[in-house]
Amino acid sequence: MDFELPEEMVALRELARRFAAEEIGPNAREWDREGEIPDEAIKKLGELGFMGTLVPADLGGAELGYLGNAIVIEEVARQCGGTALMLAAHNGLCQGHFMVAANDAQKKEYLPALASGGMFGAWCLTEPSCGSDAAALKTRAVLDGDEWVINGSKMFITNGAKAGVYVVTAKTSDESKTRGISAFIVERDTPGLIIGAKEDKLGMRASDTVPLTFEDVRVPKENLCGELNNGFIDALKVLERGRITIGALSVGLGRGAMEEAISYGQQREQFGKPLVEHQTLQFMLADMAMEIDAARLLVHKAALLQDAGQDTAIESSMCKLFASEIATKACMNGIQICGGYGYTKDIPIERLMRDAKLCEIGEGSSQVQRMIISRHYLDMKGVA
């Protein structure tokens, strides 16, 4: 077991850290307020390969693997959760679904544009009436000659306002709940695709989240992505990988809270000494450091196993669950260390806290992760 990152990953971390600190951090408060990441920033993310972290080089991607992707996401999230969520949905979910299920022609048609950042991607599973029980979705696709006709609604779609392409799950058979769903590639300007207003969210405000309505949306038969009726099984594989990204995002947010709390606590004096010299606050920082390190180890373990081609359903759930919960805790304690100033927007921990809460909900809530993990160990009769 080697706990040292390979040289190229250290270099990648330095590149991502410097870029995020210089180009994202100083703007994050404004992007949070405006609810928008400017095109110029997306262009730079594309130039660095961060809009195509997981895509092979021959399709225009940076081919960084899951470890490289986790490293980039942690550094971006350290500065701005919303930008990291935009990347997570674009790379991990939309491009992730193409990598899991699309045929060669579909990959060649869409991945180069997505991986360069020239086109945004969105992934549409959740519906107004179902999130945790995603297989209960009601959107339906019916074959009519050479076209699929899609009708229904999707909810909470990250990047949905700007996307050029959407991967959309829809019911194609009533014979089975989980094996009666297929995925479709839908382009932005397809008639009948209605993009709703942006949600007014607690956090992750730089990233857009919209509802979508499909009214007789017609796509060519060839836009079926993956095997017919296997779309939900593919979606579970996408989520297995995506949860590693949310784990990394959470680590970045938790680390941000700790670093900001240390920086403030070193300046501010109470009772004649800096805040960080009071032992009660030191103990909070010690817990943060330990939990962030443990979370990162879980994330990197899942990423390395995924890069080695192994299934990581349990490792992905564990890293996402643990990292998201300790991130929220780190943010809450970070605010506590900063006192009244921590409760204002002068110190960015309040934003990190608002962003962190989403990581306990999106891509399967904490309760759903606990269901996945406990079922696995119950099946194995409890051997961990």
Ligand X SMILES: Cc1cc2nc3c(=O)[nH]c(=O)nc-3n(C[C@H](O)[C@H](O)[C@H](O)COP(=O)(O)OP(=O)(O)OC[C@H]3O[C@@H](n4cnc5c(N)ncnc54)[C@H](O)[C@@H]3O)c2cc1C
Contacting residues toward ligand X, per CB under 6 A: 89, 93, 123-126, 131-132, 156-158, 201, 204, 209, 358, 361-365, 367-368
- Give the whole-angstrom CA distance, residue 284 versus residue 330: 8
Q: Measured from the CB atom, is 305 or 373 closer to ligand X? A: 373
Q: For this structure, is 36 an active site residue?
A: no
- Are 79 and 23 in contact by the 8 Å Cβ rule? The answer is no
192: region left, alpha or beta (phi > 0 left; psi from -120 to 50 alpha)? left
Q: What residues form DSSP beta bridges with 153?
A: 213
Q: Measured from the CB atom, is 190 or 365 closer to ligand X? A: 365
The closest of 77, 23, 91, 40 to 204, measured between CA atoms, is: 77
Q: Measured from the CB atom, is 129 or 266 closer to ligand X? A: 129
> H or E segment at 324?
helix 313-342
Name the minimum Å distance from CB 293 to ligand X. Answer: 27
Q: Measured from the CB atom, is 261 or 323 closer to ligand X? A: 323
- Are 349 and 337 in contact by the 8 Å Cβ rule? The answer is no
- Give the whole-angstrom CA distance, residue 302 versus residue 65: 12
Q: Measured from the CB atom, is 97 or 296 closer to ligand X? A: 97
Token pair, residue 292, equals 């962030």
For residue 262, count other CB atoms closer than 10 A to its CB: 17
For residue 221, count other CB atoms closer than 10 A to its CB: 11
Name the minimum Å distance from CB 35 to ligand X. Answer: 12
The closest of 313, 331, 327 to 368, measured between CA atoms, is: 313
Q: What string of H, E and C letters represents the secondary structure of 166-215?
A: EEEEEECCCCCCCCCEEEEEEECCCCCEEECCCCCCCCCCCCCEEEEEEE
Name the minimum Å distance from CB 122 to ligand X. Answer: 6
Q: Measured from the CB atom, is 210 or 347 closer to ligand X? A: 210
> One of 74, 75, 291, 363 is an active-site residue; which one?
363
Q: Measured from the CB atom, is 12 or 327 closer to ligand X? A: 327
DSSP H helices, 268-312, are 279-307
- Give the whole-angstrom CA distance, residue 74 versus residue 65: 14
Name the minimum Å distance from CB 339 to ligand X. Answer: 29
Name the minimum Å distance from CB 124 to ligand X. Answer: 5
**Closest residue to ligand X, Cβ-based?**
131
366-379 and 313-342 helices, crossing angle to 10°: 150
Name the minimum Å distance from CB 336 to ligand X. Answer: 25
Name the minimum Å distance from CB 184 to ligand X. Answer: 14
- Give the whole-angstrom CA distance, residue 175 versus residue 193: 27
- Give the whole-angstrom CA distance, residue 16 versus residue 358: 23
Catalogue the active-site residues: 363
